[in-house]
Amino acid sequence: MAKKEKTKAETVKLVETKTEKKINPRGKIFEGIVTKKFPKRIVIEFERMVYIRKYERYARYKTKIHARLPEEMEKEINRGDLIRVQECRPLSKIIHFVVINKIKDAKEVGK
């Protein structure tokens, strides 16, 4: 049997961590603003609209997500940046997402 070769898109999707284990992102994708930055993880926050049936109105709620920050992206991502995260397997008690890419700088987001 011949080995199945991975396409370039599949290879790019896998994110390597310091432990050399590959994280395979799958599932939901969110965009948010970085509120806190730690050595190996970040916290992003984004708003969502929720319909409240009793008042027949929409309310704004903020959601916080903890995400793994790959080593190669550590220097380019700072507080206030707009980034994209994708769901992956649970990496710890609170980390279930991994950073995919940076969309905008903090300066561009504030405009």
Q: What's residue 17's pLDDT?
A: 46
Give the global pTM.
0.76
Q: Class assignment of domain 15-109?
A: mainly beta
Q: How far apart are CA 12 and CA 104, in angstroms?
A: 21
Query: Could you tell me the mean pLDDT of each successive run of 10 residues in the chain, 111 residues long?
Result: 57 52 86 93 96 98 95 91 94 94 88 65
Q: What's residue 36's pLDDT?
A: 94
Q: What's residue 84's pLDDT?
A: 95
Q: What's residue 24's pLDDT?
A: 86
Written as one letter, the residue type at 43 is V
Q: How far apart are CA 44 and CA 18, in angstroms?
A: 22
Token pair 């599932």: residue = 27
